[in-house]
Amino acid sequence: MCKTPAIADIVILVDGSWSIGRINFRLVRAFLENLVNAFSVEFDKTRIGLAQYSGDPRIEWHLNAHTTKEAVIEAVKNLPYKGGNTLTGLALTFILENSFKAESGSRPGVPKIGILITDGKSQDDVIPPARSLKDSGIELFAIGVKNADENELKAIASPPEETHVYNVADFSVMSDIVEGLTKALCDRVDQLDKKIKGSAQAIKL
């Protein structure tokens, strides 16, 4: 469980390409449930949005769609499997343009986190889109499963890679990283929260 009182806007970007397969996609859902469970998800606390991508990305739900943790968990359980290719770069641009927006529920002065889950190498360039997200103040975590490309994950994630890049050999062991990932996320949310409040304080002074 995440103990920090600091809140965040978290957008999860899930690879739904054919290479994952329906059985493994169930394991991705279970992983997402564990992740959501660790946070105080409420309208005035941490908000969680989710987009799924393959060839073309789509919003599954926006940050402001669900007001309780139960509703987000329910949405995770009902997440349909998309199928298609792996265009990660396009998907990263998509969440910048669609998910991290005020009308989608993204709040000013709140830490912004993007979490990518992918099982393969992208068929397009990920570096410029990832840079655009980071330049917009969004902290990126990259989780690779099975055939994910380690260098690509490192190029996408925010530094330091020790806490922002996770690579697991198979979908069945994804649950093993939930604890470490949750802790890293919480710590970062806490630090970002202090940084944002510190900047706001400095402006007032």
User: pLDDT tens across 171-195, in order?
Assistant: 999 989 999 999 999 999 999 999 9
| Ramachandran angles phi, psi of 176, nearest 5° | -65, -25
Q: Which pairing describes strands 138-145 and 47-53: parallel, antiparallel, or unpaired? A: unpaired
**pLDDT band at residue 87, thresholds of 50, 70 and 90?**
very high
Residue 151 Cα distances to 42, 113, 147, 156, angstroms: 35, 20, 12, 9
- The two counts, helices (H) then strands (E), for the chain are 7, 6
- pTM equals 0.96
Sign of CA dihedral 105, 113, 168, 34: negative
Number of Cβ within 10 Å of residue 190's Cβ equals: 17
Spell out the domain ranges in the chain: 9-204
pLDDT value at position 205? 67
Class of domain 9-204: alpha beta
Using a 10 angstrom Cβ sphere, with 0-12 exposed, 13-18 middle and 19 or more buried, the burial of residue 105 is buried
